[in-house]
Chains A and B, each alone.
Chain A
């Protein structure tokens, strides 16, 4: 089927964030159908058949996740929308919330009907003040128009939506950390099982879905699962928001069919590597993903193709680095991030992220030893799979792949008294010691 932009088609048009505009484009028709005509089980089956996979990072099939929620639970059920967008290189959900908030609300209604949920919380990162305001305006409009509330679109079904603002913590993008934070505590992740579908927020069955995932639902109902499945690769189909940043001429969010070649995305849509320079490295799915060298960039941007290439689509945050980049500085920056964001519960993560930062920093600052390269791998091995959540893995992946694939940069920094940028500035580099407010 012909590709159509679903989230970003009208962005830039006047008042595109308002209810009046959204309704004029046919908005809330699918929510009305879901509320009045679709049986919950049929909705779940339709979303399963669409092969829609989560857009937050893990790529789990959305319909399957919904089906895990027990049907006969006496407890209330909740939807928690993951709008904590904080994976470095990712800025797509913010765009949806600022420019097209009603598509998210329509997706929320469809999910709530399918899983018999009466209250959805949108967990939005605290820094997104403007997106929060836009979203609240949209929610207010929807309540006033009878789209949300005790009798949604006169269906007799009750759905409430509440925004919950975070306060600056990457770990709250991890689903169990997010639920702990929503309950009013430090956002420390919890062991799974129990999975949130069975025992989530407030001890009740909980669906956790990403903003972009939910925004796909109205379109799936509009065109049907079969047609949706034909957009891009059948096993991970659909329109997808790709975020391109770093050393390109035109950074931005591009809505394209899943499976678009990475080269096309960089060269055609993002205007190519900037300043006429050559490509050196690409992180394809947020900094938690394994890095790709320039030679590895002939790959399709979908969940399975990137997994086969040894990395991941993740949150589709594509960070492009040109041939002037020192990968020691790049890795130091990434390691500082994970060290700062580790919640501190698990020793391998709390200590490991700190060790990695220190080791890479001493290489960048001219105090590295050849054994440090082996030491980085050793520390990574002691972090991988040994913690409650995946933050330790997310720190170890880029450390392993950047050190392995760009060992020349590391050897040069060790042999020549530090990274080129460090030597030039002597004081601060790309990864220089940050203090955090």
Chain B
């Protein structure tokens, strides 16, 4: 059994700061989920339950919020989450070719995670970077104006980061 998650002293200080910025406790839920995501690496059932207990919100309500949004890092996501923007401006400039290239290189389809647990691939909706289409978001970072060579290079770079133990 995994250990029950709990906030570090530093995270708890940050949580208290969130509470001080809103007139209701509930309003701090979205930032607190981000904090949990940051500290625990992902939001699984145990992490959501911890936030629910901490904030005195029902676990079902927390689950409802987490699943309404697409950008929280859910349990089972690969170390590197490649989210390829697939909305119109990117599609007009070859986002589908980017998805195909990543699929070929990693042997996974959109919605899947590689067996090694390093990569997840998703097609996502507009990331607000239409002038640099096609583009993708890998974890926090935008990779813009992609050629297929850029895609290959990025995958190599991420692989070597992982093998060197550099945090993505």
Contact = CB atoms under 8 A, between A and B. Distances in A.
Interface of A: 76, 85-91, 94, 125-130, 160, 162, 164-170, 181-187, 202, 243-247, 251-253, 283, 287, 317, 319, 321, 325, 329-330, 333-334, 337, 340-341, 343, 428-432, 434-437
B130 A245 contact: yes
A138 to B, nearest CB: 17
Contacts, number: 168
Given A94-B128, A333-B88, A434-B86, A126 B69 contact: yes
Contact of B92 (A187, A319, A337): A319
13 contacts: A76-B23, A85-B128, A88-B88, A94-B128, A128-B128, A165-B30, A167-B70, A184-B27, A246-B130, A319-B92, A430-B96, A435-B123, A437-B83
Contact of A435 (B64, B92, B111, B128): B111
B36 interface: no
Contacts of B120: 437
Interface residues of B, number: 52
Contact of B131 (A162, A187, A243): A243
Given A243-B130, A330-B88, A437-B83, A186 B68 contact: yes
A183 B88 contact: no
A266 to B, nearest CB: 14
Contacts of B49: none
A88 B89 contact: yes
Contact of A181 (B30, B109, B126): B30
A66 to B, nearest CB: 22
Interface of B: 21-24, 26-31, 33-34, 64-65, 68-72, 77, 81, 83, 86-89, 91-93, 96, 99-100, 109-111, 120, 122-133, 137, 140-142
Contacts of B29: 184
A269 to B, nearest CB: 12
A58 to B, nearest CB: 19
A337 B128 contact: no
B130 A325 contact: no
Given A167-B30, A434-B123, A251 B130 contact: yes
A88 B23 contact: no
4 smallest CB-CB distances across A and B, nearest first, come from A437-B122, A168-B71, A435-B111, A167-B69
Nearest to A432: B96
A184 B24 contact: yes
B133 A245 contact: yes
A129 B27 CA distance: 20
A181 B64 CA distance: 12
B96 A428 contact: yes
Interface centre among A162, A252, A341 (most CB of B within 10 A): A162
B122 A89 contact: no
B131 A245 contact: yes
Interface centre among B64, B77, B91 (most CB of A within 10 A): B91
Contacts of A162: 21-22
Interface centre among B93, B109, B123, B133 (most CB of A within 10 A): B123
A334 B88 contact: yes
B122 A430 contact: no
Given A169-B68, A436-B124, A182 B27 contact: yes
B92 A183 contact: no
Contact of A185 (B65, B100, B110, B111): B65
A292 B109 CA distance: 35
Contacts of A183: 24, 26-27
A363 to B, nearest CB: 17
Contacts of A251: 89, 130-133
A247 B21 CA distance: 44
Given A165-B34, A186-B64, A437 B124 contact: yes
Contacts of A432: 96
Nearest to B90: A245
Nearest to A331: B88
Contacts of A243: 130-131
Contacts of B128: 85-86, 90-91, 94, 125, 127-128
Interface centre among B100, B125, B137 (most CB of A within 10 A): B125
Nearest to A329: B91
Contact of A91 (B81, B129, B137): B129
B30 A166 contact: yes
Interface centre among B28, B126, B132 (most CB of A within 10 A): B126
A106 to B, nearest CB: 21
A329 B88 CA distance: 9
A321 B132 CA distance: 16
B168 to A, nearest CB: 13
A169 B70 contact: yes
Contacts of B65: 184-186
A341 B88 contact: no
A400 B103 CA distance: 35
B130 A168 contact: no
A169 B69 contact: yes
B33 A202 contact: no
Interface centre among B28, B33, B140, B141 (most CB of A within 10 A): B140
Contacts of B96: 428-430, 432
Given A183-B27, A251-B132, A436-B124, A333 B21 contact: no
Contacts of B122: 435-437
Contact of A129 (B88, B123, B140): B140
